[in-house]
Structures are given as structure tokens and as C-alpha cells.
Amino acid sequence: MQINSLVGKKIYQKQGFLQDGRRVPLTGVNVSGNLVVQIKSQDKEGYNALQLGIGIKTKAGKRETGHSKKAGLEKTLRFFKEIKVDDTEGAVLGSEVNISEVFKAGDMVDVTGTSKGKGFAGGVKRWGFHGGPKTHGQSDRHRAPGSIGQGTTPGRVYRGKKMAGRMGSDTVTLKNLEIIEITADGVLLIKGLVPGSINSIVVVKKIGENKKFLPLYKEVADEPISDDVQQVEGDSRSSIPDDARPTSEPEANEPAASLSDSQSSESAQNQEISTDLSVDSSGDGQVPIADQNDQKQEEKKEEDK
């Protein structure tokens, strides 16, 4: 059994960036919760198909309630869609369809939905008419449709003529869209915009695969270092061998010199230096500088006399 379509609900529209830097529009379609409500076989109905249902309908009629009870469901489903398959082998009533067995990232799909209703619209808005001229005396022909047919022959308006009327609320299919990603909660991120308003029902049908698929760009955040990693780093630092540690630390066997002993040794050295400088050098036959100055002054006095 090969299922190629699922029923989903359009839940949001946003944008994203591919890995090559292109910005693309994205539509989120929730396809989780597809249940098999009915199995149609070649022997009984003449073709093989599965009827899928999605959602919950609170105010349901007797026929809808009975149809869901036949599948063993306690609640009545909201929307039903028949999907043709090659064979019905392995299908179980009331079972949920696995999304990964139907879609994957890179698949090309067709999305069918009901477009938004616009109400009564003119030809310019509905069909893109250009309107009449704005000058040369044309005062009320700016958005008029213009001629809608010939004269006497055929003398009528052809069926299907593009004119003003109700716009929207039509079944629209957008083809060749691409599934960029499938989230963990069963949401298909489809590249492009799909018909319908938010929370409207759409049908997603797989038609092929894109061989040049590019996923979305995702930033990788730097994770903070956990306590376990820090503890491992601390253990590795503490496991340094003793012979590899710096030798500036004093060994435990040697007694540490006190501050008072070092200060006393420094003061004793300073005293020895000062006494050496103050020793009289007369023993070497030299006269001190102060005595030489006194002798010179006395000699000058005698010469003056």
C-alpha cells in the first residue's frame, strides 16, 4: 500500500532562508492525525481507495457519527477525503497514517484548497481588465468592462464571458510546490503560498522529488560548558606529576626563614660596610683631606705676613 496524499490544516505563513542565502516564503500545513475511516476494495466498490479523516466535529449529524463509529472511532471527524491507492493490503480501520511513510523533505507536491471569498467584484479586480481611457471625455468608463459581444449576430452574450460577479471561494490547486522541512509535531513547511485562510483544510499530494533540494539554513548556537566538563578539566590539571611542576615553591623538608632573621642579617652587612668606609687610611702613609686643607690655610697666612 502506497499513500501519496494526506489531508492537512493550514496553520501559518512565514519566511525562511535556504543554505545558499535565498529567502523563500513558507506555509505550515499540519498533516498529523490522518485516520483511516473507510477501506474500499476492488471486489466491492470496483477500485482501491482509502477514506481519510481529520479534525473533530462537535455538532455532527447521525450519518457522520455512525460513519465514524464503524471505523471504531469515539469522536466524529470533521473532514473526509478519499485517496486512491494501488492496493489496500495492510490498511487498518481507525489507524493513523505515519507521515514519514508518505512525505519527506525535498518532495514536490500539489496543494488543493478553497480560496478566500472576496464577495462581488468587478472585472478589473476579478479578471484584471485594464478599464477604459481616462481622457478624451471619458468620465465614467475608467473601470468599465467595455464591449461584451457583437451586434445582431449572434445577438447574445456567450456562455463563460468574463464579467463582474462573485469572486473567491473556489477550489484552487497550486502545483509543483516543494516540501522544505517536516517538523517533529507533523507540520509540513512548504515553499510558497497555498490557497485558503488560516485553519482551512487543504489536501497535499506528492507528485515527485526535487533532485536539487536545498534545506533551510540553521544557526548553530555555542553551548555553554557544563559542570561535568569543568570538573574533568580540573581533574586533568591536578593530575600533573610532581617532577613537572615549577621548582619555585620551597620544599617541605627545608625550614622557611623568618622575616626577622633576614632583616637582622641585612642590617649586620650594612654596618660592616659603613665601618670599612670610616677606617682611617693614615696607616698607608696618606694624610686625611681635612688636615691637608688646614696646612694650606696656615701656609697662606705666613706668606701674607
Element containing residue 26 per DSSP (H, E): strand 23-30
In 18-151, where do the E strands start and end?
23-30, 35-40, 49-54, 79-84, 107-114, 119-121
35 located within any domain: no
> Which amino acid would we find at residue 179?
I
More confident residue, 204 or 295: 204
**Residue pLDDT, tens place only, 113-152:** 999 999 999 999 999 999 999 999 999 999 999 999 998 9
128 located within any domain: yes
Answer whether residue 218 shows pLDDT above 80.
yes
Tally of domains within the chain: 1
**Domain that includes residue 125, residue range:** 118-147+163-167
13 located within any domain: no
Q: What is the pLDDT of residue 281?
A: 44
Task: Give this prediction's pTM.
Answer: 0.68
56 located within any domain: no
More confident residue, 166 or 230: 166
139 located within any domain: yes
The residue whose grid cell reads 479534525 is 55
Answer whether residue 193 shows pLDDT above 90.
yes
Confidence of residue 283 (pLDDT cuts 50, 70, 90): very low
Question: How deeply is 194 buried, as exposed, middle or buried, from its count of CB atoms within 10 A (0-12, 13-18, 19+)?
Answer: buried
285 located within any domain: no
125 located within any domain: yes
Q: What is the pLDDT of residue 265?
A: 57
Answer whether residue 261 shows pLDDT above 80.
no
263 located within any domain: no
Say if CB 54 and CB 78 are below 8 A apart.
Answer: yes
C-alpha–C-alpha distance, residues 21 and 34, integer Å = 35
Q: What is the pLDDT of residue 255?
A: 47
Write down how long the chain is: 305
**Residue pLDDT, tens place only, 148-164:** 999 899 999 999 999 99
Average pLDDT over residues 86-99: 90
Q: What is the pLDDT of residue 274?
A: 52
DSSP 196: S
**Residue pLDDT, tens place only, 13-56:** 999 999 999 999 999 999 999 999 999 999 999 999 999 999 99
Rounded mean pLDDT of the chain? 83
Average pLDDT over residues 215-241: 67
Question: Any residues with CB less than 8 A from the CB of 196 and at least 6 apart, and which?
Answer: 10, 113, 114, 115, 116, 202
